[in-house]
Structure 1
Amino acid sequence: MREMSSPPLADLTGVRNTTDLLAGRVAGHPDAVAFDVREPGAPVDAPWRPVTTAAFEAHVRAIAKGLVAAGLAPGDAVAVMAPTRYEWALVDMAVWYAGGVVVPVYETSAQVQVSAVVLDADVRLAVGGGPRHVELLTHALAEAGRPAPVWSMDAAPGHDLTALVALGADLLDDVVDARRTGADLDDVATIVYTSGTTSAPRGALITHRNLVGQVLSVAAAYTDVVREGGSTVIFLPLAHVLARGLQLVCLAGGMRIAHLGDPREVVPALAVLKPTFLVVVPRVLQKVHAAATAAAADKHLGRVWASAQRTAIAWGRLAEAADEAPAAAPGTAAPGTAAPAARGSDVVPARPSVGLRLRHAVYERLFYRRLRARLGGRVDYLLSGAAALDADLSLFFRGIGVPVIEGYGLTETTAPLTGNLPGSIRSGSVGVPMPGTTVRIADDGEVLARGVGVFRGYRNPEAHAEAFVDGFFRTGDLGSLDERGRLVLHGRVKDVIVTSGGKTVSPADWERYVEREPMVAHAMVVGEGKPYLGGVLLLDPESVAAWAHRHGIADLGPLQLPSGGAVEVHDSRLVAAIGAVVAAANARLSAPEQVRRFALVLADLSEASGTVTPTMKLKRAAIAERVRDIVDRLYHGAPSPA
């Protein structure tokens, strides 16, 4: 199959722009709780303050009045730079209520990055989370020749949101009403700068039609997830279109939202907030699984836990097989009426064997229910995006009773382009096209997209011209469609390696397999123009320390992250342990696709280091530059053999 389309499910008739999603909710459910808000400085286990839809909109209107009074004209761009927090949601919607265009800036951005965005997007006003963000934005506006006050979400007398509200206190509601309804669906709602894994960030023009269409399509396709009375915790960066889209879906669909800016607070907060679903990136699921593995090892239950993992995967595979055929497009079939294709070893019995049922019951009491409790005890689904998820990890979570709905999208597609569906989850795939979307596979394997979520284009005309072919957006990803129209990703076009022997290799499968090992934060295959492939395995210091503790290795010591650059780790025990994973990955591939030599590398993998994106995707060019000498030794020295 080379092309798959899903029919539209969203009716945009009568919707003026994105603000109607909130206005409509207020009209129908003014007293419903929309947000749970933590008081400043309070611990995560303290009571969270409920905020109703009406109260949220009242505050949005007050901030919008302040923006108008501060000089915001219709169509003006407003930069917002802050960690994920409730005030982000307020300002985001307030800018639209005031008729402006939102320009999110990642809160970890350096001055040069902030200045580039402010200049390119023609930003006129700005709101920062705290003193650092305010300072960066103030400097950027001055550099751009447009000095203006920058308002703070943190308390800052005379310069915070309270002061901004006071500035517009005398404006009438009619002013905001006129501004709110001034933009139509085809006007630009937000300019989102791509995270730049392979190139410089580019400003994507996302319209109100893109946002409204995606919100209504997701709500129609995922009624089991998006439901009145549901709740979630948003801890992904709100500067990313995925988190903002999720926020709009929840706001329009009657689901409570809580925000956390520090991922380390997520697990303790889940016990208090008890969400019904979570949106995560694969690395989060890897860490949850790794933590459970480490805990079992500490209690000398390693072999029992290994059996529990196999049991969960078998149960998850059986559950997938139980999803009945025929498959359907999103929203056109009831849950449980679509089935994945069975292939080879994926064929499983229609019912669990007595032995599998007994093992699952035992491990349910020992492990599975405790893992679900760590997620709050009420999670019906996990939604995973931003990077490919290992198939066995997906099956594991389904086997413990928390299905993972994997999807795929980009900034330029306003987040979801494809997605698995409740009742039709196929691990290893990212699902069928979203409603109103067509996915086409080009002759060279590139994934092309057209539909309601595909953006208007880039601000840069040259980048825009290169981004489309025959009316389809070029995603830059390689993929294929299975017989049911589900998309399977095979890596990035720009990541394809051609060896000196002329062999063309897409490294994604090898990298994903090796990244199953918790000690490997990221795997990167190298070898362009070389006689064989090499591997750079970036270590996770916390997981390495846990491994050393479990094996009684005291002299390895805590790995110290280098300040800039990267260092190679030569510990023979660590090399041997990870070498076994490399060998297993190689065994799955033909000889030219195997990694002959690899290096274990320690590098700063924080977002601030410039090596990963805010959603934890590796910036390959940045890492390649830092490990150039290490890579050279893979071909001229005597590094670890695979």
Structure 2
Amino acid sequence: MREESRPARASYDDHRNATDLLMQRVRVAPEQVAFEVRRTADDGAWHEVTAHEFHDEVVALAKGLVAAGVEPGDSVTIMAPTRYEWALADMAAWFAGAVVVPVYETSAPAQVAAIVSDARVRLGIGGSAEHVDLLTEALDASDHPTLGVWSMDVPTGRSGPPDLTALVRDGTRISDDVLEERRLHADLDAVATIVYTSGTTGAPRGAELTHRNLVGKVLNVAAGYQEVVYEGGSTIIFLPLAHVLARGLQLVCLANGMRIAHLSDPRDVVPTLAVLRPTFLVVVPRVLQKIRGAAAGAAEAKHLGAVWSAAQRTAVERGRAEERGEKPSAWLAARHRVFDAVFFRRLRALMGGRIDYLLSGAAPLDADLALFFRGIGVPVLEGYGLTETTAPLTGNLPSDSRAGSVGVPLPGSTVRISDEGEVLARGTGVFAGYRNPADNADAFVDGFFRTGDLGSLDDDGRLTLHGRLKDVIVTSGGKSVVPAAWEASIENHPLVAHAVAVGEGKPFLAGVVVLDPEALEAWGDRDGVGPAPEVPAPGEVVEVHDDGLRATVQRAVDAANAQVSRSGQIRRFAVVVTDLSIPGGMVTPTMKLKRSAFATAAATVVDGLFAGSAATS
């Protein structure tokens, strides 16, 4: 059993609760820009909001919540896309003494109803009329007293749900003294938010995170990443704010004087980068795969595919040399200068030209992908965490980064590897438990949270992940296989969105390769192979039999098989398409595949892979 710890680097004894993150910022630099906001859908201009202006808006909305009947400890739910008003409502609820319950904007009615009931939500705030309707139905059907639902959007006509301006108007009768008493009601050990896990393998569970979890993590992350988090820097948040990673990022930036802009549609990110020119971004690996894939597609369209392949190899080689602290050879430096002029400089410009670092989380990052971005001059720092650890538990640091690793424990955190290889966590950000006591039965061991992930620690204390404990496959011959490495290798191909190895109780392993619909369409147009396979209705998985596609995927399968042991290689595979455009359906809001939902939908395809196979290995 191995264990690695890092001492806390920040004290938060002078914080009553998470609202002090804003209050201290306002005292230090009230006129510094905190947000850049597009107020209406038809206004393309970005407007600056200072820390003081944000505080005033928070106070006004918080008074409205109090006037509406919100009491200390009541649950207030927010269901909306990522936008400025989400940040406003989040902080206002804390100022009013409430507990925030985020709901993903893509959640199904049954999910919304279950969360509202379980968290005993008293008041709802929806981003649109559709969100308001879903929350209203859920609150009306609940068995506890409720206060109603307000909309972030202003109604276009006379009818429609009340909006936040109405809530603010009603709050004018609440005094500053009353609100200050409410703001100070919760201490560090009070529950600040109940976050329901997205559930890749099972039913969502409500994780109760305290103000201590949030404040401790915000201050210690800032202390550990001073080269990334600094006054005057800026970022764009496009991950769902219902996810603890995006929400934690927002608090880190707000507390440290960094500008924040929000985008609800990830497709708007690239055009916006050149306008706002952020200094860092938090992304999921799929975003980086798409950026590199788009560059490869553009090179292919100009008949520069071979040149681009050489450029990629050069970038990875340069990234590896930098990681080792080695000076590039004269030949490598010369090649890099050429490819920088042809490709890399344009990629950096596409990302705004000012990005110091990319921070990657929520899913495993391929080592070569990380080295590629480092080699083009935009280092990627991969980290690891869960809802239950208040986002990052470990992370690579600007001064010490290793591709393929998720870094060392962050300040105030301890990581232990159990005898079974499971990653265990303890420290500042680790929650106290789930809302339902029954969910805590197997969640902790010896005071450590059981993450369910398999991992190992090297001699320098860096954590490397090896897959999920629940994803281990035991074949009929008794061989235990962790398929994560094979799956990650396949997913590195630009045409592939997800790969799933199967074979529990079977004589061999097989694989199901899910194509990326956007990349598939571009591939068909570029190579002139005709229209791409039609994406089926949500919830359906359809097998693709196109010879050209199968041959392309076969090369990726062969390459992946070459990287794993014989027992981890797959013998047969199927190529499929499914609707990946709806987070909350087949994928989580951070675009991880929901394995249980996918297994059910792809059962016929999987059965076909093992048809006629022998009963023993």
2:154 pairs with 1:155: yes
Cα shift readout 1:481-539 (whole Å, capped 9, x = no counterpart) = 01100000000000000000000000000000011111110000000000000101011
2:587 pairs with 1:612: yes
State the partner residue of 1:395: 371
Distance between the aligned counterparts of 1:30 and 1:232, measured in 2? 19
Shift of 1:609: 5.8
Shift of 1:604: 1.3
Cα shift readout 1:383-441 (whole Å, capped 9, x = no counterpart) = 00000100000000000000001000000000000000002110000000011110000
Cα shift readout 1:214-249 (whole Å, capped 9, x = no counterpart) = 000011000000001000000000000000000000
State the partner residue of 1:404: 380
Distance between the aligned counterparts of 1:413 and 1:49, measured in 2? 34
2:542 pairs with 1:567: yes
2:229 pairs with 1:233: no
User: Does structure 2 conserve the Cα–Cα contact (< 8 Å) formed by 1:562 and 1:602?
Assistant: no
2:187 pairs with 1:184: yes
State the partner residue of 2:223: 220
> Which residue identity lines up with residue 84 of structure 1 in the other structure?
T
TM, length-normalised to structure 1: 0.93
Shift of 1:39: 2.6
Distance between the aligned counterparts of 1:164 and 1:419, measured in 2? 41
Q: CA RMSD in A?
A: 1.2
> Which residue identity lines up with residue 34 of structure 1 in the other structure?
A
Deviates more, 1:589-598 or 1:92-101: 589-598
State the partner residue of 1:579: 554
State the partner residue of 1:96: 94
3-state DSSP of counterpart to 1:449: strand
2:507 pairs with 1:507: no
State the partner residue of 2:446: 470
Which of 274, 291, 302 is 1:299 aligned to? 302
2:599 pairs with 1:599: no
Shift of 1:558: 4.8
Deviates more, 1:169-178 or 1:84-93: 169-178
User: Does structure 2 conserve the Cα–Cα contact (< 8 Å) formed by 1:98 and 1:179?
Assistant: yes
Unaligned runs of 5+ in 1: 323-349
State the partner residue of 2:14: 14
Which of 600, 604, 609 is 1:625 aligned to? 600
TM, length-normalised to structure 2: 0.97
Distance between the aligned counterparts of 1:51 and 1:42, measured in 2? 19
> Which residue identity lines up with residue 450 of structure 1 in the other structure?
R
Which of 445, 454, 472 is 2:421 aligned to? 445
State the partner residue of 1:344: none
Shift of 1:471: 0.2
Distance between the aligned counterparts of 2:258 and 2:327, measured in 1? 35
Alignment of 1:191-202 (within 5 A): 191-202=194-205
User: Does structure 2 conserve the Cα–Cα contact (< 8 Å) formed by 1:138 and 1:148?
Assistant: no
> Which residue identity lines up with residue 19 of structure 2 in the other structure?
T
Shift of 1:637: 6.0
3-state DSSP of counterpart to 1:466: coil
**CA separation of 1:608 and 1:515: change in aligned 2, threshold 3 A:** closer
Shift of 1:606: 2.8
> Which residue identity lines up with residue 22 of structure 2 in the other structure?
L
> Which residue identity lines up with residue 41 of structure 2 in the other structure?
G
Count matched residues: 608
Distance between the aligned counterparts of 2:469 and 2:601, measured in 1? 22
Shift of 1:551: 2.4
State the partner residue of 1:343: none
State the partner residue of 1:119: 117
State the partner residue of 1:36: 36
Cα shift readout 1:569-595 (whole Å, capped 9, x = no counterpart) = 001111011101101111122222110
Shift of 1:561: 2.9
User: Does structure 1 conserve the Cα–Cα contact (< 8 Å) formed by 2:475 and 2:508?
Assistant: yes
State the partner residue of 1:334: none
> Which residue identity lines up with residue 110 of structure 1 in the other structure?
A
Cα shift readout 1:287-309 (whole Å, capped 9, x = no counterpart) = 00000000000011111111100
Alignment of 1:478-517 (within 5 A): 478-517=454-493
User: Does structure 2 conserve the Cα–Cα contact (< 8 Å) formed by 1:564 and 1:609?
Assistant: no
3-state DSSP of counterpart to 1:531: coil
3-state DSSP of counterpart to 2:552: helix
State the partner residue of 1:455: 431
State the partner residue of 1:337: none
Cα shift readout 1:231-271 (whole Å, capped 9, x = no counterpart) = 00000000000000000000000000000001111111111
Alignment of 1:135-154 (within 5 A): 135-145=133-143, 146-154=145-153
Shift of 1:147: 4.3
Shift of 1:605: 1.7
Distance between the aligned counterparts of 2:102 and 2:527, measured in 1? 45
> Which residue identity lines up with residue 566 of structure 1 in the other structure?
V
User: Does structure 1 conserve the Cα–Cα contact (< 8 Å) formed by 2:68 and 2:147?
Assistant: no
State the partner residue of 2:311: 308
Cα shift readout 1:12-37 (whole Å, capped 9, x = no counterpart) = 11110000000000011110000000
Distance between the aligned counterparts of 2:489 and 2:583, measured in 1? 27
Distance between the aligned counterparts of 1:351 and 1:260, measured in 2? 39
Give the fraction of aligned pairs with identical amino acids, expressed as a percent. Answer: 64
Distance between the aligned counterparts of 2:30 and 2:193, measured in 1? 26
Shift of 1:608: 4.5
User: Does structure 2 conserve the Cα–Cα contact (< 8 Å) formed by 1:31 and 1:52?
Assistant: yes
**CA separation of 1:356 and 1:534: change in aligned 2, threshold 3 A:** same
Which of 532, 535, 548 is 2:508 aligned to? 532
Distance between the aligned counterparts of 1:497 and 1:56, measured in 2? 51
